[in-house]
């Protein structure tokens, strides 16, 4: 295939049925934003919504708004909206707390369920390349409950089956790897975990709103995910938690997480001294939720749901793959000879909505030089067993094909002119 030209990219934009979705956002002029996988962009409607929640619902409604503005049920209502993006039915998802905290609750409930089963399973399997907070939460709970955290390395298609045995109680994986963009086959991995007698916990931080997910079809047990990445909920937006309805229905009065709180109680305003769990996933709520943040998250989730009349997640996925394919093709032709290596799997079905590159030298400075030109991606440091990474996220809601062209041209220029060697780009900041 000949390398696409700028005109080809413009033609792709002109023919793109999802193009109008971009108007939902206020992107700063001169910015090509390739970091929606880390912090989604600001929807146009968010400021007005937050303003209304503050001035009207809080300012005028005061405490009445818990009922009259529906504040009390906001975790369930936003959870149901998110559910439409991840193959969950109504009542199966709650928007609440952070991803880390939701993982703690879900893992502690999963451990409790395995203890109750009583066959001595005390191993939690995950990947060494998983996002660190997932591993820290797992490590803390394992230490507390006398479990062992077993981390697999390398290709999970071979490493995972070898790690599964009669001692494994939980498999906890992130669907799309935050560093490499590699994506698991959710249904196949879940089936393998179940065949081994383990419960399956998925982290959808880089999946929800980015790739089609069908938790019910995959028969997963638990899932958590992030609100501030592809769901555009804003910095520190609430996350979400999901429980399979089959599992929910089987939860008894004694089956709750270690982080019990009054919002997860069957009757919070009965103020009973003992904990009696609400039905299903609602028992995973803990305390009073950040209503202003949840309201902003609702606006963000709706920007993704706006794709439903245009083909929904399937259409977003088609465009996402077209964008990432284009990026890979352009990098490999326009930046050839500059030492860049593709880290993300080339096969479409094995990658999420991001592309990661590595380079022996200067990865951090190259990303800084790109940011200085308005091309915003990010950098993830390597270590003894994985390389430094230049990470580029592609959000089909607001990115066009011409954006990809210009991003690669900037990358080529930064490499060709060695602009990245400027000392200003070597200084490490707190957040990379
Ligand atoms: C982004 C991300 C998180 C973030 O967790 P917080 O509790 O919001 O800090 C967790 N896990 C994965 C896999 C992520 O990608």
What CATH code is carried by the domain that includes residue 387? 3.90.1150.10
For residue 292, is it within any domain?
yes
The response to whether 206 counts as a known ligand-binding position is: yes
Nearest CA to ligand 1 atom 2: 205
For residue 106, is it within any domain?
yes
Active site residues: 131, 203, 228-229, 391
Maximum CA extent, the chain: 71
Q: Are residues 79 and 174 in the same domain?
A: yes
For residue 165, what are its two tokens? 């045995």
Q: Are residues 111 and 253 in the same domain?
A: yes
Mutate to test the pocket of ligand 1, among 36, 39, 98, 99 (most ligand atoms within 8 A of CB): 99
Domain count, the chain: 2
For residue 25, what are its two tokens? 């956002």
Q: Are residues 278 and 380 in the same domain?
A: no
Q: Are residues 295 and 323 in the same domain?
A: no
For residue 431, is it within any domain?
no
Residues of the chain with pLDDT under 50: none
Nearest CA to ligand 1 atom 4: 99
For residue 60, is it within any domain?
no
174 CA distance to ligand 1 middle (Å): 10
Q: Are residues 35 and 166 in the same domain?
A: no
Q: Are residues 135 and 284 in the same domain?
A: yes
pLDDT of residue 242: 98
Q: Are residues 199 and 171 in the same domain?
A: yes
Burial 111-150 (b: 16+ CB within 10 A, else e): bbbbeeeeeebbbbbbbebbbebbbebbbebbeebebebb
133 CA distance to ligand 1 middle (Å): 7
99 CA distance to ligand 1 middle (Å): 5
The response to whether 353 counts as a known ligand-binding position is: no
For residue 49, is it within any domain?
no
Sole residue written with tokens 């409604």: 61
Residue that finishes a domain, picked among 276, 305, 334 = 305
Strand positions, DSSP E, 191-309 = 199-203, 222-225, 239-243
Domain interval for residue 358:
6-43+312-425
Q: Are residues 217 and 107 in the same domain?
A: yes
pLDDT of residue 1: 63
For residue 54, is it within any domain?
no
Q: Are residues 131 and 268 in the same domain?
A: yes
CATH number of the domain to which 276 belongs: 3.40.640.10
With 0-12 CB in 10 A as exposed, 13-18 as middle and 19+ as buried, what is 51? exposed
Give residues (CB < 6 A) around ligand 1. Answer: 98-100, 131, 133-134, 174, 178, 203, 205-206, 226, 239
The response to whether 100 counts as a known ligand-binding position is: yes
225 CA distance to ligand 1 middle (Å): 8
pTM value is 0.98
Q: How many CA atoms lie within 13 A of 112 on its CB side?
A: 15
Q: Are residues 269 and 328 in the same domain?
A: no
């Amino acid at each position: 295939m000949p390398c696409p030209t700028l005109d080809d990219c413009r033609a792709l934009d002109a023919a793109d049925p999802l193009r109008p979705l971009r108007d939902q956002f206020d992107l700063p002029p001169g910015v090509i934003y390739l970091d929606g996988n880390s912090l989604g962009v600001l929807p146009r409607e968010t400021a007005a919504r937050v303003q209304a929640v503050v001035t009207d619902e809080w300012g005028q409604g005061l405490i009445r708004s818990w009922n009259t503005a529906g504040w009390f049920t906001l975790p369930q209502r936003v959870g149901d909206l998110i559910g439409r993006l991840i193959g969950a039915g109504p009542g199966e998802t709650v928007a609440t707390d952070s991803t880390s905290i939701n993982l703690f609750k879900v893992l502690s409930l999963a451990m409790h369920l395995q203890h109750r089963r009583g066959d001595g399973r005390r191993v939690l399997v995950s990947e060494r390349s998983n996002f660190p907070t997932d591993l820290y939460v797992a490590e803390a709970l394992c230490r507390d409950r006398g479990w062992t955290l077993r981390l697999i390395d390398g290709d999970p298609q071979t490493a995972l089956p070898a790690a599964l045995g009669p001692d494994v109680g939980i498999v906890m994986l992130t669907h799309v790897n935050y560093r490499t963009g590699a994506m698991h086959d959710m249904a196949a991995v879940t089936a393998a975990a179940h065949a081994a007698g383990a419960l399956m916990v998925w982290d959808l931080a880089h999946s929800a709103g980015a790739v089609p997910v069908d938790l019910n079809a995959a028969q997963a047990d638990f899932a958590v995910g992030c609100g501030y990445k592809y769901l555009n909920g804003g910095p520190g937006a609430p996350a979400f938690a999901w429980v399979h309805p089959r599992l929910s229905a089987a939860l008894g009065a004694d089956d709750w997480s270690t982080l019990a709180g009054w919002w997860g109680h069957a009757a919070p305003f009965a103020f009973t001294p003992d904990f009696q769990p609400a039905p299903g996933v609602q028992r995973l709520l803990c305390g009073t939720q950040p209503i202003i943040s949840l309201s902003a998250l609702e606006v963000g989730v709706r920007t993704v749901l706006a794709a439903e009349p245009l083909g929904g997640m399937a259409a977003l996925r088609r465009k996402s793959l077209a964008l990432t394919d284009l990026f890979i093709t352009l990098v490999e032709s326009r930046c050839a000879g500059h030492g860049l290596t593709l880290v993300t799997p080339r096969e479409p079905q094995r990658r999420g909505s991001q592309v990661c590159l590595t380079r022996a030298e200067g990865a951090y400075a190259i990303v800084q030089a790109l940011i200085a030109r308005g091309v915003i991606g990010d950098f993830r440091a390597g270590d003894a067993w994985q390389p430094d990474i230049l990470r580029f996220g592609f959000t089909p809601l607001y990115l066009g094909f011409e954006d990809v062209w210009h991003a690669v041209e900037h990358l080529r220029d930064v490499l060709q002119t060695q602009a990245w060697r400027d000392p200003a780009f070597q200084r490490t900041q707190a957040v990379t």
